[in-house]
């Protein structure tokens, strides 16, 4: 079942790109932008390797907290959130819950945000490569961090799916995002 959900997500991504050449151009621009941000983040994480361990810990924890906050807020506020594998759509099927949740979580890795988050999280291993136990702990922390981001995103988008479809919520979220940029 997990493999079927991953194939479904890849098929949906492939078909969305085939619809229009402009979607392919948009995907290409998104990939280049994400690669630039990921490159800067990983370079910063590697620079932290030579810094004080307390500073590195603070930066990594704050960066992880920002990633969690971003994964919780941005999909809800974005009008075009990716709801292709929305858990509510699978309620009529007799899919065992552990397999459904595993497939949905791994499906969240497919795409620019999931891949970028995973790459930056793996960059933390370079920060903590001062010793083998620290690097192993960083690897475990990176995997748990990425899974936490994706699961939190799915939980929040599922919980607010009914609210997010209302016109008032879309107007209010647009105003909330316009106020800080003014």
Assigned token pair, 2: 């997990």
Residue 100: count of CB within 10 angstroms of its CB: 18
pTM of the predicted model, to two decimals? 0.76
Whether residue 178 contacts residue 167, with contact meaning beta carbons closer than 8 Å, is answered with: no
The pLDDT value given to residue 61: 94
Q: Which residue has the tokens 């493999």?
A: 3
- For the four alpha carbons of 54, 56, 57 and 62, in that order, the dihedral sign comes to positive
CA 128, CA 64: separation in Å to the nearest integer? 15
The pLDDT value given to residue 88: 57
Coil/strand/helix, residue 82: coil
Could you say which residues of the chain have pLDDT below 70? Answer: 1-2, 5, 77-95, 161-166, 169-170, 173-182
The pLDDT value given to residue 20: 79
The pLDDT value given to residue 115: 92
Whether residue 125 contacts residue 135, with contact meaning beta carbons closer than 8 Å, is answered with: yes
- Where do the domains of the chain lie? 2-181
- For the four alpha carbons of 87, 109, 42 and 144, in that order, the dihedral sign comes to positive
The pLDDT value given to residue 158: 75
Coil/strand/helix, residue 9: helix
């Amino acid at each position: 079942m997990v493999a079927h959900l991953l194939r479904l997500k890849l098929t949906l991504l492939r078909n969305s790109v085939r619809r229009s050449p402009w979607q392919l151009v948009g995907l290409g621009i998104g990939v280049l932008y994400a690669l630039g941000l990921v490159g800067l983040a990983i370079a910063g994480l590697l620079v932290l390797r030579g810094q004080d361990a307390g500073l590195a810990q603070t930066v990594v924890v704050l960066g992880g907290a920002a990633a969690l906050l971003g994964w919780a807020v941005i999909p809800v506020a974005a009008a075009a959130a990716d709801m292709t594998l929305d858990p509510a759509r699978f309620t009529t099927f007799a899919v065992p819950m552990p397999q459904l949740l595993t497939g949905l979580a791994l499906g969240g890795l497919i795409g620019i945000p999931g891949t970028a988050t995973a790459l930056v999280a793996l960059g933390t291993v370079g920060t903590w490569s001062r010793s083998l136990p620290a690097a192993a702990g960083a690897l475990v922390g990176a995997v748990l961090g990425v899974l936490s981001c994706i699961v939190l995103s799915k939980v929040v988008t599922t919980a607010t799916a009914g609210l997010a479809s209302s016109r008032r919520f879309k107007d209010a979220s647009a105003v909330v995002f316009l106020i800080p940029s003014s």
